[in-house]
Amino acid sequence: MAKEKAVGIGVIGFGTIGTGVVKVLQRNADVIERRLGFPLRLVRVVDLDLETDRGVDLGDVRFDSDSDSLIEDPAVDIVIELIGGYDVAKQMILRSIEAGKHVVTANKALLALHGKEIFDAARKRGVDVAFEASVAGGIPILRSLREGLAANHIESVYGIMNGTTNYVLTQMEATGEDFDVVVKRAQELGYAEADPSFDLDGVDAAHKLTLLVAMAFGADLTYKDISTEGIRGLTPVDFAAAAEFGYRIKLLGIAKAHRGPDGEESIEARVHPTLIPKTSLLANVDGAMNAVAVCGDAVGPTLFYGAGAGELPTASAVVGDLIEIAREVRRGAAGRVAPLSYLPHELSPRPILPLDDIVGRAYLRFSALDRPGALAHISGILGDHDIGIESVSQTGQGGDGESVPVLMQTDPVRESVLREALDEIERLSDLSAPTRLIRIEEEL
Amino acid sequence: MAKEKAVGIGVIGFGTIGTGVVKVLQRNADVIERRLGFPLRLVRVVDLDLETDRGVDLGDVRFDSDSDSLIEDPAVDIVIELIGGYDVAKQMILRSIEAGKHVVTANKALLALHGKEIFDAARKRGVDVAFEASVAGGIPILRSLREGLAANHIESVYGIMNGTTNYVLTQMEATGEDFDVVVKRAQELGYAEADPSFDLDGVDAAHKLTLLVAMAFGADLTYKDISTEGIRGLTPVDFAAAAEFGYRIKLLGIAKAHRGPDGEESIEARVHPTLIPKTSLLANVDGAMNAVAVCGDAVGPTLFYGAGAGELPTASAVVGDLIEIAREVRRGAAGRVAPLSYLPHELSPRPILPLDDIVGRAYLRFSALDRPGALAHISGILGDHDIGIESVSQTGQGGDGESVPVLMQTDPVRESVLREALDEIERLSDLSAPTRLIRIEEEL
């Protein structure tokens, strides 16, 4: 049987993930060809830095800084964009599409903001844009939402979508160390970037949740509407209290579909630290690992677990996309599946339920001055707002000498009501610092 | 825009899953069409039983017992085989293929034994055979192995693949009740069939593992080579001892690829009750839920969790397959992906590593007569075979009056050596019953 012609691959961005992609294409060429029937051939690599030793031998693969020429190269069928960021990456993707190339990217930030424009351009040109690596690294969650669970009305999608914060939270809990100490070590070990703000402030998780919300509910991309809160300000006291109450603290992206009394649909979408029952599967996802849960009306609860970042896990997702596109190239079936799971004209803006309207239990840490009456004042105001206290704990530990932490779990309460009560409590003279609120989710 | 023509569906077998498929096609028709751009239209349903009320309204869908006519009906594009069993199901599938119909099935038993013949016939006729529902119910594990993780050399695949046994094990552990009591309740609640042997003896899990082994390693279907042991004979003592030692007991299907010193590959594939660390994710998969872990050389460890059986979860997988095939029908792209992940000519027989050669730790429950010297005799024989004892526990509980259970964890030992020692121990006059061996896996 005559050997089928290879599909040509061009990589733009030869950093960590780009290096991983080259490694996987090289060392797994045999297994890829046994599945495809033809090889994926790395044709060109582009980066501005031509000096750094990446520890891989590119052989006779052309390696230079000329992205224009890569995009126009007729030997390149699929362009992999791995430079990240917004403007340049967007231009390169749009120019690749214009040149009739399929595109694979891991750029969730770009897609969360400009996905519509990019997907529209690809559809008009008849090429694919694949982005499995952009959410939860190596876990094939997008493919599962888009195809495996396509028979379902998706009811909720939530999970641990950022490995850096999960590493920091796991370490803080295990060691009892302060946030800054753990973040510094995470940077030294390569789990956190030099500027870790995007991760620590929940922005990265919100980018990923944006894509999941679109694919789960057929909602227009809604990044700006997602209420986002990061993990700064958590202290060892919070982890100890969570454990005492039977929970662990995880930074979750959470999205749920709601149907109002007269049938109108709205969506809840938020990123914040969350107390979840310590026996739940999600609570036991530790270190830099990710896990995404999907509930569908037919399938019920599902969970997808794996490495959310890293050179090779991310490359696994990128090369998986290459394999899929290569199949479609050969069968003339590009555009077989809509990138956001729903056909483009079926994506529609959806009202996002304001955080204020969400009802749930809460964990509260008050920094109360160590004097008579403080607890009575706090609980009095909560009572005035009809907020039930399920448990309270005041250990005397973790304070700063003048103040002690008072730790509470409330009954279910509307967020706006709780916020009003907390504002009132802030005005008391009994507190030495702002109150920390962490939402509790039982159902996850 | 003119509405695209529907893809026609015929269902053979209107039992639990067939009813679920009809329900999902009816109630989720909107979301399916928003993803596909055209409807899936249920055209015909066939069953021998035309009387039982399934609780769904078939409307003007033709419902009769004439499978021949369904298979030949030009309005039927995809035939769903849901009658189970071997001979008749196989005939119907082969005749459907011959008639140019695509086929969806949940029949793992049939595929584990006759998959090659069926997949060959489909390839020659240019139609698809999809079977996501046959392994782990609603979890899209086959699609993930075949596409999402296709860039990887798969190193291992293992997990909880049978909901009935997982329900029984979870209940035995939670209640301390005996096997027979729990099985009876499982039957009353619908978690176990009237004849639950296929489940309890591990046969069903071995069928599923057969398909996973082929897809993971490119091995010819190897059902007959899989060493299979069910959950009969486990007692409340075993669960208590496992907990004391830091484990839980799960019935696992386990497959790993091994590469010998001179590069030859062999496969380890077995189904048996297993002690796994109680903090592992897999150990926390309870009730009738399933979870399958896959380790790939690039992606690292992954886990896929969800309902492994049931009307609607299984229907979720069946209808997911319908959606995929419908897309391929429209694009003329049938056969886009090889059903067993590797191209048919790349599947090859692989030596199965004999269970005797596997090295691992073991849990042993000896029923020792309550008299001096028994423990010394047992541990003496283990010592003669160089089998290290990591811990031993003799509580005096759970015995039958004359004998007491002696519970041990061994150091890693080759199965053949352990079997020799146990044979020798059986010949002692110190035991009142055969010894129970449960393998321990730390890495899962």
Number of domains making up chain A: 3
Q: Which residues of A touch B300 (CB under 8 A)?
A: 138, 306-307, 310, 312-313
Active-site residue identified among A108, A208, A250, A256: A208
pLDDT band at A3 (very low <50, low <70, confident <90, very high): low
Q: Averaged over A315-342, what is the pLDDT?
A: 95
CA–CA dist A92, A83 (Å, integer):
10
Is the model more confident about A259 or about A111? A111
Indicate whether B39 belongs to any domain.
Answer: yes
User: B28–A153: do the CB atoms touch at under 8 Å?
Assistant: yes
What local confidence, expressed as pLDDT, does residue A71 receive? Answer: 98
A177 shares a domain with A240? yes
Q: Is B328 on the interface with A (CB under 8 A)?
A: yes
What local confidence, expressed as pLDDT, does residue A1 receive? Answer: 44
Sheet containing strand B7-12, edge to edge, reads B62-64, B40-46, B7-12, B78-81, B102-105, B129-130
**Residue B190 is part of which domain span?**
141-307
CA distances from residue B163 to A363, B135, B197, B306, B399 in whole angstroms, order as listed: 36, 11, 13, 10, 30
B183 shares a domain with B287? yes
User: B298–A322: do the CB atoms touch at under 8 Å?
Assistant: no
pTM for this model (two decimals): 0.96
Regarding beta strands A78-81 and A7-12, do their DSSP bridges make them parallel or antiparallel, or are they unpaired? parallel
Indicate whether B351 belongs to any domain.
Answer: no
CA–CA dist A168, A179 (Å, integer):
8
Q: Is A150 on the interface with B (CB under 8 A)?
A: yes
Q: Could you report how far apart the first and last alpha carbons of chain A are, in Å?
A: 52
- What does the pLDDT look like over B277-318, one tens digit per residue? 999 999 999 999 999 999 999 999 999 999 999 999 999 999
Q: Around Cβ A57, how many Cβ atoms within 10 Å? A: 8
pLDDT band at B3 (very low <50, low <70, confident <90, very high): low
Indicate whether A48 belongs to any domain.
Answer: yes
Q: How many contacts, defined by CB atoms under 8 Å, are there between A and B? A: 218
pLDDT band at A49 (very low <50, low <70, confident <90, very high): very high
Active-site residue identified among B90, B101, B108, B208: B208
Enter the ipTM.
Answer: 0.96
What local confidence, expressed as pLDDT, does residue A21 receive? Answer: 98
A182 shares a domain with A226? yes
- CA angle centred on B42, ends B38 and B46, rounded to 5°: 160
B318 shares a domain with B205? no
- What does the pLDDT look like over B360-392, one tens digit per residue? 999 999 999 888 888 999 999 999 999 999 999
Regarding beta strands A154-160 and A129-130, do their DSSP bridges make them parallel or antiparallel, or are they unpaired? unpaired
Q: To the nearest whole number, what is the mean pLDDT of chain B?
A: 94
| Token pair of B200 as six digits | 């309890």
Radius of gyration of chain A (CA): 24
A297 shares a domain with A188? yes
> How close A161 comes to chain B (CA, Å)?
14
pLDDT band at B1 (very low <50, low <70, confident <90, very high): very low
- What does the pLDDT look like over A259-296, one tens digit per residue? 878 878 899 999 999 999 999 999 999 999 999 999 99
Q: Indicate the SS3 state at residue A28.
A: coil
Q: Is A352 on the interface with B (CB under 8 A)?
A: no
User: A299–B138: do the CB atoms touch at under 8 Å?
Assistant: yes
Indicate whether A350 belongs to any domain.
Answer: no
A110 shares a domain with A12? yes
Q: Averaged over A361-371, what is the pLDDT?
A: 93
Q: Averaged over A205-217, what is the pLDDT?
A: 97
| Token pair of B398 as six digits | 């759970």
Is the model more confident about B183 or about A4? B183
A280 shares a domain with A181? yes
B51-56 LR contacts (CB < 8 Å, sep 24+)? B54/B14, B54/B18, B54/B19, B54/B22, B55/B19, B56/B19, B56/B22, B56/B23, B56/B26
Beta-carbon contacts of residue A65 (< 8 Å; ≥ 6 apart): A46, A47, A48, A50
- What does the pLDDT look like over A418-430, one tens digit per residue? 999 999 999 998 8
Find which of A154, A304, A327 to mutate to test the B interface (most B CBs within 10 Å of its CB). A304
Q: Averaged over A124-144, what is the pLDDT?
A: 97
Indicate whether B214 belongs to any domain.
Answer: yes
CA–CA dist B239, A275 (Å, integer):
30
What local confidence, expressed as pLDDT, does residue B356 receive? Answer: 93
Q: Which residues of B touch A346 (CB under 8 A)?
A: 34-35
CA–CA dist A241, A404 (Å, integer):
13
Q: CA nearest B428: which of B392, B362, B384, B363?
A: B384
Q: Which residues of A touch B218 (CB under 8 A)?
A: 31, 34
Say if CB A361 and CB A409 are below 8 A apart. yes
Q: Averaged over B406-425, what is the pLDDT?
A: 96
Q: Around Cβ A274, how many Cβ atoms within 10 Å? A: 25
- CA angle centred on B9, ends B7 and B11, rounded to 5°: 175
Chain B residues 33-62 with CB within 8 Å of chain A: 34-37
User: B296–A302: do the CB atoms touch at under 8 Å?
Assistant: no
User: A299–B306: do the CB atoms touch at under 8 Å?
Assistant: yes
> How close A39 comes to chain B (CA, Å)?
12
Indicate whether B303 belongs to any domain.
Answer: yes
Which residues, listed in sequence order, are joined to residue A6 by a DSSP beta bridge?
none
For this structure, is B278 an active site residue? no
> How close A291 comes to chain B (CA, Å)?
9
Helix (H) or strand (E) holding B257: strand B247-259
Q: To the nearest whole number, what is the mean pLDDT of chain A?
A: 94
> How close B233 comes to chain A (CA, Å)?
28
pLDDT at residue B407 tops 60: yes
Find which of A32, A104, A149 to mutate to test the B interface (most B CBs within 10 Å of its CB). A149
pLDDT at residue B8 tops 60: yes
Among A178-182, B138-142, B348-352, the minimum mean pLDDT is found in: B348-352
Which residue has 């069939």 as its token pair?
B193
DSSP letter for B308, please: -
Q: Averaged over B192-211, what is the pLDDT?
A: 96
Q: Which residues of B touch A297 (CB under 8 A)?
A: 27-28, 312
pLDDT at residue B444 tops 60: no
User: B140–A148: do the CB atoms touch at under 8 Å?
Assistant: yes
Indicate whether B352 belongs to any domain.
Answer: no
Q: Averaged over B39-56, what is the pLDDT?
A: 97
The amino acid that residue A267 corresponds to is I
What local confidence, expressed as pLDDT, does residue B336 receive? Answer: 94
Percent with pLDDT over 90 in chain A:
88
Q: CA nearest B98: which of B117, B63, B71?
A: B71
A230 shares a domain with A124? no
Q: Which residues of A touch B301 (CB under 8 A)?
A: 305-307
pLDDT at residue A331 tops 70: yes
Which residue has 């038993």 as its token pair?
B109
What local confidence, expressed as pLDDT, does residue A444 receive? Answer: 56
Q: Is A338 on the interface with B (CB under 8 A)?
A: yes
CA distances from residue B130 to A65, B75, B133, B146 in whole angstroms, order as listed: 45, 20, 9, 12
Residue B153 is nearest to which of A31, A149, A298, comparing CB atoms? A31
Instruction: Please state the φ and ψ torsions of residue A226, each to the nearest 5 degrees.
Output: -85, 120
Closest residue of A to B328, CA-based? A336
Beta-carbon contacts of residue A261 (< 8 Å; ≥ 6 apart): none
Q: Indicate the SS3 state at residue B204.
A: helix
A382 shares a domain with A328? no
Q: What CATH code is carried by the domain that includes residue A36?
A: 3.40.50.720
Dihedral sign from CA coordinates of B235, B236, B242, B245: negative
- Helix spans in B126-260 (H): 141-143, 163-175, 179-189, 197-200, 203-217, 236-245
Say if CB B133 and CB A138 are below 8 A apart. no
Closest residue of B to A142, CA-based? B148
Q: What CATH code is carried by the domain that includes residue A180?
A: 3.30.360.10
A134 shares a domain with A22? yes
pLDDT at residue B231 tops 90: yes
pLDDT at residue B123 tops 90: yes
Which residues, listed in sequence order, are joined to residue B367 by a DSSP beta bridge?
B405, B433
Q: CA nearest A355: which of A417, A265, A424, A290?
A: A417
Q: Which residues of A touch B333 (CB under 8 A)?
A: 328, 331-333, 336
Q: Which residues of B touch A316 (CB under 8 A)?
A: 149, 151-152, 296, 298-299
Indicate whether B382 belongs to any domain.
Answer: yes
Q: Which residues of A touch B285 (CB under 8 A)?
A: 281
pLDDT at residue B9 tops 90: yes
Q: Which residues of A touch B139 (CB under 8 A)?
A: 302
B322 shares a domain with B303? no
Percent with pLDDT over 70 in chain A:
98
CA–CA dist B255, B209 (Å, integer):
8
Chain A residues 87-126 with CB within 8 Å of chain B: none
Residue A316 is nearest to which of B28, B298, B327, comparing CB atoms? B298
Q: Is A210 on the interface with B (CB under 8 A)?
A: no
Q: Which of B307, B336, B368 is the last residue of a domain?
A: B307
B265 shares a domain with B223? yes
